[in-house]
Amino acid sequence: MNVLSVEALDSNHGLLKAVRGVSFTVAEGEILALVGANGAGKTTLLRTIAGAHKPSSGKIVFEGIDVTNVPAGKRTRAGIALVPEGRRIFGEMTVEENLLVAGRTGRKGRWNYATVLEAFPMLRRIAQRKGGDLSGGEQQATAIGRALMTNPRLLLIDELSLGLSPVAVNAVYESLESVMASGATIVLVEQDLSRVLRVSTRVACMLEGRIVREGRTSEITKEAITEAYFGLRRGEEVKA
């Protein structure tokens, strides 16, 4: 069963057409990694799926229902959760408050304050600290936990490792493994190709707003992704 179907989607970022005719599906329990250079359209695509950005054309179908024109808040209540680039947690609220406020409008399900702390044990020791006082890794864990509190059917994570130290990235992914193992359906934007090939079930590479390469992780190589990433033909070298 497809949780998400994106059909011929176009979306602008200001005057720029950032997403161009993108079509793909995400099956239940699948982890789709979106990769591509800065400006490829990945963030605009995720924001459009979440309802934070209005498409200029195309269709977004979530669990069989056309949600193309459904407001972001209703999409969240229906089961779509976005962890945005830059985390954007509430800096004046504690970690506990950030989590609990998200749970007030969420759906019923396995994720609650206790189960989020179980999945992300680093949050337990910082639960009473304000969001603005946290490290980047702690903020990212809080942002993912906040999204889980809504009990999403589809979790969208934008630039998970952006700006984080290798130690922080490892800690966040270690906690996220239990979420992935639970059968969650995830679309993940990630720059670390080695990490992508370890955690995802399918990879889609974006270039200039389009998906130019797509395949199951077990059937695609890092070299093929890199070629698509830079818009290269096989054997062509990257030039400075």
State residue 200's pLDDT score: 94
Task: Band the pLDDT of 106: cuts 50, 70, 90.
Answer: low
pLDDT digits (tens, 9 = 90+) for 159-194: 888 878 889 888 889 888 889 888 899 999 988 888
pLDDT digits (tens, 9 = 90+) for 7-60: 999 999 877 899 999 999 999 999 999 999 888 999 999 999 999 999 999 999
**What average pLDDT does the segment 112-130 reach?**
94
Structural domain boundaries of the chain? 2-230
Q: Please tell me which residue, 228 or 32, carries the higher pLDDT value.
A: 32
pLDDT digits (tens, 9 = 90+) for 212-223: 999 999 998 888
DSSP character at residue 51: T
Which CATH number is 2-230's, of 3.40.50.300, 3.60.20.10, 1.10.10.10, 1.10.357.10? 3.40.50.300
Task: Band the pLDDT of 109: cuts 50, 70, 90.
Answer: confident
CB neighbours of 120 closer than 8 A, spacing ≥ 6? 141, 144, 145, 175
Q: What is the pTM of this model?
A: 0.89
Residue for token digits 């059968």? 183
166-169 long-range contacts (CB < 8 A, ≥24 apart) are: 167/137, 168/135, 168/136, 168/137, 168/140, 169/137, 169/195
pLDDT digits (tens, 9 = 90+) for 53-98: 999 999 999 999 999 999 999 999 999 999 988 778 888 899 999 9
